[in-house]
Amino acid sequence: MTNEGSLNQQLAGAIAQALQLPEEQVVISSSVETLESWDSLAHLMVIMEVEQGFNVQFSTEEIPQLTSAKKLQDALRSRGLL
């Protein structure tokens, strides 16, 4: 289990894969505002990678809100997946 200030490694890997970035570049503060490659199309790729990697499905209401590594991690943690 990760602490609140660090990003889960599996989640970092999923985000990095979707954005085609080295995993080291994805940190807890990574978001659509901080990563140029995280645009609207890439956002859908991030969501798909996370859903596949964690065997979860986010609601259509949640998806537009999950715009940062921290928000994704919090959503996974709230489901007991982290």
Residue 1 domain flag: no
Count of structural domains, the chain: 1
Give residue 5's pLDDT: 72
Give how far Cα 39 sits from Cα of 20, 34, 35, 42, 45, Å. Answer: 12, 11, 8, 5, 10
Give residue 4's pLDDT: 54
Residue 29 domain flag: yes
Closest CA to 46 of 27, 72, 28: 72
Tens of pLDDT, residues 28-80: 999 999 999 999 999 999 999 999 999 999 999 999 999 999 999 999 999 99
Give residue 2's pLDDT: 44
Give the domain CATH number at 51: 1.10.1200.10
Section 5-13 average pLDDT: 92
Which distant-in-sequence residues (6+ apart) come within 8 Å of 51 by Cβ? Answer: 57, 58
